[in-house]
Amino acid sequence: MQRMHWQDAVTLLTGLAIVIAALFLRIPPPEGVSLAPAIWNIVLSGLAATGLAVAALRRFRDWEEVAQLVLGLGLIAAPFVMGYSAIRALTWLSVGGGLVVAVMALSVLIRPSPTSIY
């Protein structure tokens, strides 16, 4: 039986924090710009991170960590790809949350594999 990793608990809390912050931050959009696509992207990514973390906590599989890594990298790139990098609060939320998710996933993926002395 595989043991649980503390990194998945951190990812779970980070995903929840991303969702809550994106929904409750009152960010005034620049004139003529809709923040809805950016906020939806952040909220859905936070929910995905939370779901993947719950799945990894229930039963660990490497693909869940790979998916979390890809999700974290996507969150990091999103402000620049989707064009909302000028909105600092959303950029910090996306990049900061993405960094935490990606680093936690990477730290599990590069862990030394248990070796047997037999």
Enumerate residues 6+ apart whose C-beta is below 8 A from 94.
Answer: 38, 41, 42, 45, 75, 76, 78, 79
Enumerate residues 6+ apart whose C-beta is below 8 A from 103.
Answer: 72
Q: Where are the domains of the chain?
A: 6-24+34-109
Q: Is the pLDDT of residue 116 over 60?
A: no
* pLDDT attached to residue 112: 61
From the list 59, 41, 37, 29, the residue with the least C-alpha distance to 98 is: 41
Q: What is the pLDDT of residues 13-59, one digit of tens each?
A: 999 999 999 989 888 777 777 888 899 999 999 999 999 999 888 88
Q: Is the dihedral of CA 16, 7, 5, 43 positive or negative?
A: positive
Enumerate residues 6+ apart whose C-beta is below 8 A from 90.
Answer: 22, 25, 27, 35, 38, 39, 42, 79, 84
**pTM across the whole model:** 0.85
